Structure 1
Amino acid sequence: MIICLSIFSDFTKPADVVILIALSINVIYLFYLIFPFTIFGKKQIVSSKLSNNENNLRLLIANVYQENKKSSAYYGLIEKCQPDIILLVETNKWWQNQMDTLEKEYPYQIKVPLENTYGMLLYSKLELSGEVKYLVEEDIPSIETDVKLASGQTVKLFCLHPQPPVPQENPRSTERDKEILLVAEKAKQCNLPVVVMGDLNDVAWSYTTELFGKISGLLDPRRGRGFFNSFNAKYFFLRFPLDHIFCSPDFSLSSIKRLKSCGSDHFPMWVNLQFNPQAKDLNHIPEATEEDKALAEEKINTPT
């Protein structure tokens, strides 16, 4: 657009000059926002120097798209990746029935199948102790659970999928922002290592996600490594990072991957974290200002 305007604009007309300058400023600002997620940005979480061990936590998150019927594709993906924990969202009773075979290898489950595209299925090889929460809306669940690593270390896991601010569902972002920031406060107050995963319906560089990081003190493994755009899998030219996995500073990163499409409009995401308290001294921990804290409280207390 800017190139076309530069070629075809009439620079004797003030309006053309103003439009070109405004667009240029906008592009510079957008580049400023996304730069931390390029390979030139600073890594927020350090790479693990240790081989996989009993402190590793292999996570797979997939928004399956409720109307998608390619459940067998996810079985193939799971067989290849061998995650410790699987979170499937947009899952109804049909999806629960299709994935029941997982229970043999994943004996711990928390299942909330729903027909409103906000169902969640959590499968784990590791021991779970948790419950389903309805933090903001009575038909939008989240999951809060303790996970016992093979080493015996307990980790707090939050799984969420808030409603997106879209005209056909909800034109406001109030409920989404409130749920995200409520989880941020829970994570900050938790005395255990924390992992948050889910389809947040928000890009990684948005103001709300940035605020989530500052309030929670959690780290984004994509920073300094790439966008890992997970949506929309059906359009190669218009994709955004909507599926997230965050962790507390006492983790290092073994690997992060965007996996192949399985028929959904979202790509599955894979993150392999390693609990390592020594990493806390090396990781770059986001900090909230008093203004950030006040804004978060305002959003949390806004009536829905």
Structure 2
Amino acid sequence: MPNPINWRPKFKYIFDGVFVIGTILLILLSLAGYLGEFNRYLELTSHFKLQYLIVSFCPFFFFVMRRQKLGLILSLVCLIINLVEIVPWYLPQASAIASETDGQKLRVLQSNIDKYSYQLSKVIPLVREEQPDVAVFLEASKNTAKKLEVLQDIFPYSIAGQDGDIDGTVVYSKLPLKNTSVKSIGEGRVSVLADLTIQGQVISLITAHPSTAIGKAYVEQRNRQLVAIANYVAKVKNPLLVGDFNISMWSPYYRRFVNKARLHNTRAGFGILPTWPTCRPLLYIPIDHCFVRRDIKVLNIRTGHEVGSDHLPLITDLWIPRKST
């Protein structure tokens, strides 16, 4: 009687092959974003570094248990590619403060409240709880902007810029807003501009909300807007640039933007802090940003709790040094 076929070794080879192929595909996805300037679909792959990193641990542990040398090398390569993009955001930044008398703390809260959501029952309590010095609301319709006026009891200063009836930006401040204006920087949604004087320094608040990166025309418009914003901000001495930029830190267009504008992402040292989309947490990516020059210290930055929008709020604590005489 013939010996029965032993399928176990064959299944092992099949699983090895599947995991090797899967790891190679994951490596290709991890690298594709670096070529994002050549194709919008390649650029789209750049935003999911965190997801690639988490998934790459699966083949790594599989090949460790299988003691499969080729697969282990491939999975290590995949891990390293993504770790070098994630880990630096968690490394502490130099932020020593000589004395509390040498400056002033500034808390900025920013929230894309979603023009299709109209839910303020969570946003307004969050603002009152966090007590920011400046609050920036994006995608605020005229109706939403009207409802936000209940915050005037704690924010005596405000300015709003509307893009039609269902989209706009509203800024509230405990500090006087000077040289206020609403203008288009490049094309697309308008930006709200205002100066705040803190410790003798003029801090130029600039809001931005480039186009959603869905569809070729919108991606190209977003990229042109980023160029225009970078050109504008590069000429500002002390910018405080906040908004929903519809781009993550791993896009080649983001790298070009921050280099040209000479900006520091306040996330650095505090983690990647994904903010969107709240309805699909497995796809979370960081597209809401707060930028400053490096001489402004970042005390802390964190996401706020869910407020009924597809974005999480960002709360940033800055230290504005006293102007040197």
Give TM-score scaled by structure 2 length.
Answer: 0.72
Matches within 5 A, 1:9-48: 10=17, 20-24=23-27, 26-27=29-30, 28=78, 29-37=81-89, 39=90, 41=91, 43=93, 46=95, 48=97
Is the contact between residue 267 and residue 273 of structure 2 (CA under 8 Å) also seen in structure 1?
Answer: yes
Q: Deviations over 1:144-181 (max 9, x none)?
A: 221122x34211111011111213xx644222122222
Q: CA deviation at 1:21?
A: 3.2
- Structure 2 counterpart of 1:134, one-letter code: S
Match of 1:237 among 282, 307, 316: 282
Q: Taking structure 1 as reference, are residues 20 and 260 closer, same or farther at Cα in structure 2, changes over 3 Å only?
A: closer
- Structure 1 counterpart of 2:213, one-letter code: P
The structure with the larger Rg is 2
Q: CA deviation at 1:205?
A: 2.1
Matches within 5 A, 1:207-218: 207-218=252-263
Residue 186 of structure 1 is matched in structure 2 by 232
Residue 265 of structure 2 is matched in structure 1 by 220
- Structure 1 counterpart of 2:88, one-letter code: P
Q: Taking structure 1 as reference, are residues 117 and 205 closer, same or farther at Cα in structure 2, changes over 3 Å only?
A: farther
Is the contact between residue 34 and residue 205 of structure 1 (CA under 8 Å) also seen in structure 2?
Answer: no
Tell me how far apart the structure 2 counterparts of residues 48 and 161 of structure 1 sit (CA, whole Å).
32
Aligned residue for 1:265, secondary structure, equals coil
User: Superposition RMSD on alpha carbons, in Å?
Assistant: 2.7
Matches within 5 A, 1:24-173: 24=27, 26-27=29-30, 28=78, 29-37=81-89, 39=90, 41=91, 43=93, 46=95, 48=97, 50-51=99-100, 55-115=104-164, 118-128=167-177, 129-137=179-187, 140-149=189-198, 151-167=199-215, 171-173=217-219
Q: Taking structure 1 as reference, are residues 204 and 6 closer, same or farther at Cα in structure 2, changes over 3 Å only?
A: farther
Q: CA deviation at 1:265?
A: 0.7
Q: Deviations over 1:174-226 (max 9, x none)?
A: 22122222222222222x32111000011122212211221111111212321
- Structure 1 counterpart of 2:84, one-letter code: Y
Once the two structures are aligned, what percentage of the paired residues are identical?
24
Q: CA deviation at 1:52?
A: 8.8
Q: Taking structure 1 as reference, are residues 225 and 72 closer, same or farther at Cα in structure 2, changes over 3 Å only?
A: same
Is the contact between residue 93 and residue 114 of structure 1 (CA under 8 Å) also seen in structure 2?
Answer: no
Is the contact between residue 204 and residue 240 of structure 2 (CA under 8 Å) also seen in structure 1?
Answer: yes
Q: Taking structure 1 as reference, are residues 187 and 6 closer, same or farther at Cα in structure 2, changes over 3 Å only?
A: farther
Q: CA deviation at 1:53?
A: 7.7
The number of equivalent residue pairs is: 262
The answer to which structure has the higher helix fraction is 2
Residue 176 of structure 1 is matched in structure 2 by 222
Give TM-score scaled by structure 1 length.
Answer: 0.77
Is the contact between residue 52 and residue 274 of structure 1 (CA under 8 Å) also seen in structure 2?
Answer: no
Is the contact between residue 250 and residue 277 of structure 1 (CA under 8 Å) also seen in structure 2?
Answer: no
Is the contact between residue 201 and residue 322 of structure 2 (CA under 8 Å) also seen in structure 1?
Answer: no
Q: Do structure 1's residue 250 and structure 2's residue 295 form an aligned pair?
A: yes
Tell me how far apart the structure 2 counterparts of residues 144 and 220 of structure 1 sit (CA, whole Å).
19
Q: CA deviation at 1:114?
A: 3.8
Q: CA deviation at 1:256?
A: 0.8
